[in-house]
Amino acid sequence: MARFKQSGDVQSSAVGDRVVLFHRRTQKSIVLNPTGASLWNALATPMTAADLAGCLLAAHAELTPDRAASDVAAYLEQLSEQELVAVDA
């Protein structure tokens, strides 16, 4: 099962309850909302999508497991497309 982690090419800065990510090579940035910021911080340690969905469920009891898994999949897809996360070998 794939384990995701923060890319080494990314610099992150907390701004209130949000996180700004800056990719050094592509020179692009993105601002994560509080939920995205929480998941980003979790990715300091390699995690599977299921691990991240568990983090999301722990923080948002109103979510169903299916919704948490779907939200995490979309989150990882977006960050992967922008080369902000890497797959840990």
- Span between the terminal Cα atoms of the chain, in Å: 10
If you ran DSSP here, which 8-state letter would residue 64 be given?
-
Per-10-residue mean pLDDT, the chain, length 89: 95 97 96 97 97 96 96 97 91
Model pTM score:
0.93
pLDDT at 89: 66
pLDDT at 75: 98
For residue 3, give the 3-state DSSP assignment: strand
In the chain, where are the structural domains located?
Answer: 3-82
Instruction: Give phi and psi for 45, each to the nearest 5.
Output: -115, 130
Best CATH choice for the domain 3-82 from the list 1.10.287, 3.90.930, 3.40.91, 3.30.10:
3.90.930
pLDDT at 88: 84
